[in-house]
Amino acid sequence: MNKKWIGLFGAIASILILAAVAYAFEADFDPSTYNPDVAEIVNFEVCESCLNGDGDIYTWDFDADGTPELEGQDALVTYAFPESGYYEVVLTVTSAGGRTSTRRKGITVGTLPAFAVRELMPQSDGTILVLITITVMADCSALGFQEAMPQGWQVEVVDAGGAFAYPNPLTKKLEALWGSQFLAGEAVTFSYRLHPAYTTALQGLSGEFSGYADGGRFIGGICGELGLPQ
């Protein structure tokens, strides 16, 4: 085979790969805030890379009770949560051909001295890098979280961000605690890596975030990603 044909086949292969990436079918969305006030209007926008075609239907369940609040073809919707608390928002995308993909993210509604948001970054080696960002809204102390460790995955702390971190084998939770004081406007990050052991399926993630402010303890769920697309 001469160089001309090799080059032609290589170009075609590249185009096919790019097309597959461009039309990867998965649900994903971004809220305008992960910590809205009660009755505050929140924008929920389907990620641009997930806009696969005019025939896609977006189904939104803002309290994960199995009954959608909104359904249609609009990639940008708004919603106001009626009460304070932790909500699991579920987006299901259905293609014109009947394929479906689901994404779940946590939202904490109501004023808290600090809140935490989880991001998932799958790596080429099969591991998943998890980044937890804590945003401080008011002076507080003794910030910490407990994160459930998925069955079949090993946990490696990458950057504790100054916290004392301990993967507790008894509770099967990753525990982290900061002993320092935090001021309003500060932010801190914590990262860990998940290594697959005897399974490649990642179950849903869950965690609890807490701290002390004005002499009392506050508790909230960890917002953001709750698992990979399904």
Integer-rounded Cα radius of gyration of the chain: 21
Looking up tokens 């609040």 gives: 69
* Domains 1-111 and 113-230 are alike in CATH topology: yes
Enumerate the domain spans of the chain: 1-111, 113-230
pLDDT of residue 6: 40
Q: Is the pLDDT of residue 23 over 90?
A: no
Write out pLDDT tens, residues 32-90: 999 999 999 999 999 877 766 678 899 999 999 999 999 999 999 999 999 999 999 99
Q: Dihedral, CA atoms, 194, 196, 200, 202, nearest 10 degrees?
A: -30
Q: Does domain 113-230 correspond to CATH entry 2.60.40.1170?
A: yes
Write out pLDDT tens, residues 176-230: 999 999 999 999 999 999 998 776 677 789 999 999 999 899 999 999 999 888 7
Q: Domain 1-111 belongs to what architecture?
A: Sandwich (2.60)
Tell how many helices (H) and how many strands (E) occur in the chain: 1, 18
Q: What is the pTM of this model?
A: 0.85
